[in-house]
DNA sequence: TTGAAAGCGCTACCAG
DNA sequence: CTGGTAGCGCTTTCAA
């Protein structure tokens, strides 16, 4: 009755074959091969033996024999940020559907680290490498990253980027400029005339695009971009929170609405405002961008621009895997007006 | 000048060796081996060639040759939940320090899926499998999961569980009962006498432990657990949000404080309360559990029980990897009183 | 210090 | 339909 289950080391296909009384090759076919060319009776015996022994095929071995793995590599800037974790959720979902597993690395918003990570990941021979995260202008890492990814692709790998326009790979481009522009128009229509924009460093592409889009929207709506107060802040919740001090002052001096370049910061700002004695929504309208899950669940519910994060994650995987080399995929966004920007 | 970089397929060690004019074995030693027994001059040439060709060692091949991979498998219930993403962040950090990469799977709070995932993961021969997520009583999956993990370990794998006491593997146990108990005592000391508890299904171990711990604390503080209102809810933010309706009624009928079994739900509840016209903190004190990042950044800041999530992630990896088979590691928790439960 | 060659577990091709 | 076996890319003895 002892099939060797107590032996050290994993059960191998060899063990299974012996236990089932068939050849190595047959066992392989029964378990993983084309399924079609092995007598049902034998196949059954092999499967039974595998089960009994708790056999799990050695993936690295399969990978090397087949020349391709069943993993997807995902690089994000930060797992704790809902923006990225929602994207990651989408990728993981889609990967699971495709029988793939995802390895996740965190670049911590450092282009240098991001480069290192991609290099390391390449060695794992994933089916695809997905990189999510705002490009940082002038980091000097652009070319190396491109070269790294190009080498990977030359070797047969697939690549997709999320929100990193202008690298020569299939990219899911989020319409930051257009979304912010339309948000501005809607806000203007609701009656707001005096604005503040809370934004991050100008080298962060996303922040820059959203800010300029918003200003353009103001002009397009018939207003002016002059006199819009600019409040720089960290690209994090505490950044938003910290910016609230300044925002509270501005509110008291007549500013009516604040556009914060992402929801995480906006939520931080709302909390900070409340702490500073300014009621968000009532005394200062606040709008964000991304429409993360939490946006609809804060109080007042946050006006935002909906970015279909989970769908983007799924789509990124599909794009990478699809044979046809789609260039840039434009992801449409949509303004979502909520209670934090009541009509005035 | 053409080293074959334009050839299809990845650059192999063989290519590097040839380019450097040394043998395969030497190249291997120079790049990955014990480093010590290759002439510096040769080592340098190999490294240069590798660099020039953009060589990245084929990990699956190394894995099979060495008999061990450099990946860690992490199973969580949900990536979007800060509880898990903070843990994941800790794991990824620690893994990076150890030169390991983490593959992440999401069990979606389904014990069945969790089992399947562990089975699949086993095939990837990770160095360790880490499972985070509250055990669900009576799911009938306990024994199979144990067997799967045992088989993995028999084959040389390492295992660590987070908050899943009572499976026979090294476990990081969060003191749910004790933390909730001490929270109750502190709240009692602050003057609260009439309570409600928002909790999830009793089969969710974590929820159960926190609820009973809180009740015990009330008794230990000299109060009574009788008459504590029980509000069942989903183990999610919207669950907490939905529970707020009931909570608002209770507040109006004299309940002074609500203990919500986790922060995500508690934050949802605070938002819901505000929407229902009850000011959290002022009209109804609210306390949560976990002390996720957001807890300190909502308004009013949420009283909670601090669970060192990131540290737990790091620790889980260390525990799994450590030779000495530590049994259960007790993770201390700490009550953090904030503005959502002002003294009364 | 180096090279040759035997595996590692599995797939896939080639005969039977 | 089945078995034998040559690789896959790398590590690691074993000799030289």
pLDDT greater than 70 at residue B1: no
In eight-state DSSP terms, residue A301 is P
User: pLDDT per residue over A275-298, tens digit each?
Assistant: 999 999 999 999 999 999 999 888
Tell me: do B293 and B277 sit in the same domain.
Answer: yes
In a domain, A269, yes or no: yes
User: Where are the strands (E) in chain B, listed by range?
Assistant: 71-76, 101-106, 128-132, 158-162, 171-174, 195-199, 229-232, 257-260, 285-287, 304-306, 328-331, 334-336
Tokens linked to B69: 């991979």
Tell me: do A7 and A106 sit in the same domain.
Answer: no
Tell me: do A106 and A138 sit in the same domain.
Answer: yes
CA-only gyration radius of chain A, Å: 26
Element (H, E) at A199: strand A195-199
**Percentage of chain B surpassing pLDDT 70?**
97
Cα A109 from Cα A239, distance rounded (Å): 15
Tell me: do A320 and A292 sit in the same domain.
Answer: no
pLDDT greater than 70 at residue B7: no
pLDDT greater than 90 at residue A32: no
Tell me: do B277 and B319 sit in the same domain.
Answer: no
Q: Which domain holds residue B36?
A: 3-57
Q: Span B227-241, mean pLDDT?
A: 95
CA-closest candidate to residue B63, choices B100, B98, B108, B15 = B100
In a domain, A321, yes or no: yes
Closest nucleotide to B41 by C1' from CA:
C1
Contacts of B114 in chain A (CB under 8 A): none
Cα B34 from Cα B40, distance rounded (Å): 13
pLDDT tier, A4 (very low <50, low <70, confident <90, very high otherwise): very low
A32 Cβ within 7 A of any nucleic strand C atom: yes
- Could you count the other beta carbons within 10 Å of the beta carbon of residue B78? 19
Q: How far is A161 from chain B (nearest CA, A)?
A: 19
Domain at B272, CATH number: 3.40.50.2300
Cα B26 from Cα B153, distance rounded (Å): 34
- Average pLDDT of chain B is 93
Picking from A69, A104, A241, the nearest residue to B60 by CB comes out as A69
Tell me: do B129 and B188 sit in the same domain.
Answer: no
B35 Cβ within 7 A of any nucleic strand D atom: no
Environment class of residue A219 by beta-carbon count within 10 Å: exposed (0-12), middle (13-18) or buried (19+)?
middle
Closest nucleotide to B26 by C1' from CA:
C2
- pLDDT for A5 equals 43
B238 Cβ within 7 A of any nucleic strand D atom: no
- pLDDT for A302 equals 97
Q: How many domains does chain B divide into?
A: 3
pLDDT greater than 50 at residue B247: yes
Element (H, E) at A304: strand A304-306
User: pLDDT per residue over A205-259, tens digit each?
Assistant: 999 999 999 999 999 999 999 999 999 999 999 999 999 999 999 999 999 999 9
Can you give the distance from the CA of residue A66 to the C1' of nucleotide D6 in angstroms?
14
Q: Span A83-101, mean pLDDT?
A: 95
* Protein residue closest via CA to C1' of C9: A61
In a domain, B26, yes or no: yes
Tell me: do A184 and A234 sit in the same domain.
Answer: yes
Nearest CA in chain A to B72: A103
In a domain, B190, yes or no: yes
Tokens linked to B282: 């002022």
CA-closest candidate to residue A192, choices A229, A242, A243 = A229
Which residue in B129, B282, B297 has the most chain A C-beta atoms within 10 A of its own C-beta, making it the best mutation to test that interface?
A: B297
- Average pLDDT of chain A is 93
Which residue in B80, B295, B309 has the most chain A C-beta atoms within 10 A of its own C-beta, making it the best mutation to test that interface?
A: B80
Q: Taking the model in full, what pTM does it have?
A: 0.93
Tell me: do B206 and B117 sit in the same domain.
Answer: no
Cβ–Cβ under 8 Å, residues B181 and B289: no
Residue with tokens 């996740």: A104
A14 Cβ within 7 A of any nucleic strand D atom: no
Whether residues B123 and A59 touch (CB distance < 8 A) is answered with yes
Q: Span B58-79, mean pLDDT?
A: 95
Tell me: do B162 and B215 sit in the same domain.
Answer: no
Strands A195-199 and B229-232: unpaired
In eight-state DSSP terms, residue A332 is P
- pLDDT for A220 equals 98
In a domain, A338, yes or no: no
Can you give the distance from the CA of residue A42 to the C1' of nucleotide D13 in angstroms?
39
pLDDT greater than 70 at residue A3: no
In a domain, B338, yes or no: no
Q: How far is B342 from chain A (nearest CA, A)?
A: 15
In a domain, A62, yes or no: no
A64 Cβ within 7 A of any nucleic strand C atom: yes
Tell me: do B34 and B75 sit in the same domain.
Answer: no
pLDDT tier, A326 (very low <50, low <70, confident <90, very high otherwise): confident
Q: What is the number of H-type helices and E-type strands within chain B?
A: 12, 12
Q: Where are the alpha helices (DSSP H) in B162-204?
A: 176-189
* Protein residue closest via CA to C1' of C4: B25
Three-state SS for A299?
A: coil
Cα A149 from Cα B261, distance rounded (Å): 45
Contacts of B274 in chain A (CB under 8 A): 299
Q: CA–CA distance from A298 to each of A75, A122, A208, B80, B266 (Å)?
A: 29, 41, 26, 16, 12
* End-to-end C-alpha distance for chain B, whole angstroms: 80
- Could you count the other beta carbons within 10 Å of the beta carbon of residue B97? 10
In a domain, A86, yes or no: yes
pLDDT tier, A8 (very low <50, low <70, confident <90, very high otherwise): low
User: pLDDT per residue over B265-311, tens digit each?
Assistant: 999 999 999 999 999 999 999 999 999 999 998 889 999 999 999 99
Three-state SS for A160?
A: strand
Whether residues A54 and B151 touch (CB distance < 8 A) is answered with yes
Q: How far is A37 from chain B (nearest CA, A)?
A: 24
Tell me: do B202 and B298 sit in the same domain.
Answer: yes
Picking from A69, A79, A155, the nearest residue to B92 by CB comes out as A79
Whether residues A297 and B86 touch (CB distance < 8 A) is answered with no
Contacts of A122 in chain B (CB under 8 A): 56
Tell me: do A127 and A75 sit in the same domain.
Answer: yes
Whether residues B59 and A123 touch (CB distance < 8 A) is answered with yes
Domain at B48, CATH number: 1.10.260.40
């Amino acid at each position: 009755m002892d099939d060797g289950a107590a032996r050290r080391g994993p059960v191998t296909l060899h063990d299974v074959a012996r236990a089932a009384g068939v050849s190595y090759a047959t066992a392989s076919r029964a378990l993983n091969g084309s399924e079609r060319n092995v007598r049902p009776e034998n196949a059954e015996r092999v499967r039974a033996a595998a089960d009994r022994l708790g056999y799990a095929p050695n993936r690295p071995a399969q990978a090397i024999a087949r020349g391709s793995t069943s993993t997807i590599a995902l690089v994000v800037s930060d797992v704790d940020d809902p923006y990225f974790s929602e994207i990651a959720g989408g990728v993981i979902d889609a990967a699971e559907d495709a029988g793939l597993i995802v390895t996740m690395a965190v670049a911590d918003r450092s282009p240098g680290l991001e480069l290192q990570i991609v290099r390391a990941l390449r060695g794992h021979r994933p089916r695809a490498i997905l990189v999510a995260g705002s490009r940082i202008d002038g980091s000097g890492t652009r070319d190396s990253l491109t070269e790294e990814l190009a080498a990977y692709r030359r070797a047969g790998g697939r690549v997709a980027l999320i929100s990193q326009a202008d690298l020569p790979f299939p990219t899911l481009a989020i319409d930051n400029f257009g979304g912010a522009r339309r948000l501005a128009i809607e806000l203007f229509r609701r009656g707001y005339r005096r604005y503040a924009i809370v934004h991050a460093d100008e080298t962060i592409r996303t922040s820059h695009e959203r800010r300029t889009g918003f200003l353009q929207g103001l002009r397009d709506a018939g207003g002016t971009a002059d006199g819009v107060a600019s409040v720089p802040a960290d690209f994090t919740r505490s950044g938003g929170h910290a910016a609230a001090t300044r925002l509270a002052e501005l509110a008291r001096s007549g500013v009516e609405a604040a556009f914060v370049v992402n929801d995480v910061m906006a939520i931080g700002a709302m909390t900070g405002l409340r702490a500073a004695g300014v009621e968000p929504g009532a005394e200062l309208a606040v709008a964000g961008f991304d429409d993360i899950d939490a946006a609809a669940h804060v109080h007042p519910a946050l006006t935002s621009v909906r970015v279909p994060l989970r769908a983007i994650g799924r789509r990124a995987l599909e794009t990478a895997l699809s044979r046809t080399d789609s260039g840039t995929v434009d992801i449409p966004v949509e303004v979502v007006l909520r209670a934090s920007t009541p009509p005035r």
